Structure 1
């Protein structure tokens, strides 16, 4: 377990990742707790119930926004003071989890929490937690025990590599592979693979650079990919967020509620 101790001292203690780790823990615990409570409310079990104010249902994204903003201001004003930035990190983790758990409702401007479209929130929360985890386990150059002479000579090469890597990430995003691009920020091979493979047929890259024949190839590959991995995505969303119990809103009713 010596490697774990060294990693903890290098990355968490000297790398100043303690607040980030606390934010991740608060984020995951809040999401699990929130989904457990909402599923119990839907099943009519336990002492939990929906909260209303003046006849208006109070969604948990509302206190989430308050906590997120409060935590952000605490973190910005902490200036290295340990109690404040840890408190801010916890508030950001809790608030972000409450807001992103209802991301689909905010995106659609409609109550789709228990519909198939509402499972978008599960994907967003999963992606956010994965990025936080990768940021924590990644190597911090400032915390690594570099020799000053080695660090100076390596800085230029690192800058070139990072610039090329961000180029791969940008191409991956332009190809419509947004989750891959986001994770590829931390896992370079994902960005490299996403940048060289076919784009999604409706992506900006495909519309700008692909011929009609190549767009057809991209559409066929997208269909094959979705047929292979789509059931796994649905299983994950059902397992984490609960199986949908409401139909998706019709496009006309969704458009009617938009300002």
Structure 2
């Protein structure tokens, strides 16, 4: 194990990234364990930090860790020593605390245990996936070939640059179509982002709002595909996430886009109480 670590992590210069990754995952698991015990009102657990009655969210501590780790990393001149790995770990730990309250930053209110709070868990999982892919040695398509091209190979560099542009365009379209994971993985594997960019958008995504008019065949087909294929995967993802992060308050999940496709029900608010059809 030590030989593998020395060969694949230390010798390849990935020790800072490895330290970031491990500290990020540990920080997320630690803070989720803490908030779940606070929510369960475990008596022996310290609980929230509330000096003078002011609830200090852990995003504040995360920002402090990120500043210490980031600034110290800029000051360290030995790029291969343990000090840089420690600063990367501090930055990773702080990043976990910040992203765990990403929904609070996005909505500017405490939505931690609401359905909107799942955005934080999604952000953490995306960060883990990205840093994990980079840790394995994967790089965005064309990255090594473009920078490693021989001097004067202008034609090869131009072709590689065109491939990179097409790939990133496909990933961008995939993200606009609401296909987050396809867009992210497509940065490393171009076929995935291109296929996702060609297929129908997720209902309610920016692309669907811009390109699929109300009552259009494309919108109806996108809703049918979403209900048949994507929704079961989303429910499985939520179950897995809540197994780790804790159960959020459940709100009846209704796709807003269905109101644009299915006929609206009559408004009965003005009918007498007890009226039956």
Fold similarity call, TM over 0.5: yes
Q: Which residue of 2 aligns with 1:37?
A: 34
Q: Could you tell me which residue of structure 2 aligns to residue 71 of structure 1?
A: 69
Aligned ranges for residues 157-168 of structure 1 at < 5 Å? 158-168=160-170
> Quick check: 2:18–2:135 contact (8 Å CA) kept in 1?
yes
Of 22, 25, 40, which residue of structure 2 is paired with 1:25? 22
Residue 200 of structure 2 corresponds to which residue in structure 1? 198
Aligned mates of 1:246, 1:174 — CA distance in 2: 27
Query: In structure 1, how many angstroms separate the alpha carbons of the residues matched to 2:198 and 2:178?
Result: 13
Q: 2: CA distance between counterparts of 1:85 and 1:154? A: 36
Pairwise CA distance, 1:167: 2.3
> Is 1:240 aligned with 2:244?
yes
Q: Following TM superposition, by how much is the alpha carbon of 1:31 offset from its aligned partner in structure 2, in angstroms?
A: 0.8
What is the rounded CA distance, in whole Å, between the counterparts of 1:142 and 1:238 in structure 2? 36
Displacement of 1:213 after TM fit?
1.9
- Structure scoring higher RCO (CA < 8 A, sep ≥ 6) equals 1
Q: 1:207 to 1:106 in 2, by over 3 A?
A: closer
Shift of residue 112 of structure 1? 1.9
2:103 aligned residue:
104
Deviation of 1:148 after TM superposition, in Å, equals 8.7
Cα distance in structure 2, aligned partners of 1:213 and 1:247: 29
Q: CA deviation at 1:143?
A: 9.2
**CA 1:142–1:217: 2 relative to 1, 3 Å:** closer
Q: 1:111 to 1:218 in 2, by over 3 A?
A: same
Structure (1 or 2) with the greater helix fraction: 1
1:104–1:119 contact (8 Å) kept in structure 2: yes
Larger gyration radius, structure 1 or structure 2: 2
Could you tell me how far 1:245 is from its partner in structure 2? 5.0
Q: Could you say what the CA RMSD is over the residues aligned between the two structures, in angstroms? A: 3.3
Change in CA separation of 1:193 and 1:76 when aligned onto 2, cut-off 3 Å? farther
1:135 and 1:186 in contact (8 A); partners too: no
* TM-score normalized with structure 1 length: 0.78
Deviations 1:51-105 (A, max 9, x none): 1111111111111011112222222333453344222211110000011111122
Count of aligned pairs: 243
8 A Cα contact 1:14 1:143, kept in partner: no
Query: 2:13 — aligned with what?
Result: 16
Residue ranges of structure 1 left out of the alignment (5+ in a row): 249-259
**What is the SS of the residue equivalent to 1:244?**
coil
SS in 2 for 1:201: coil
- Following superposition, the deviation at residue 34 of structure 1 comes to 1.1
The answer (yes or no) to whether the contact 2:73–2:84 under 8 Å persists in 1 is: yes
Which residue does the alignment assign to 1:217?
A: 221
CA distance in 1, matches of 2:24, 2:203: 34
Q: State the SS of the aligned residue for 1:57.
A: coil
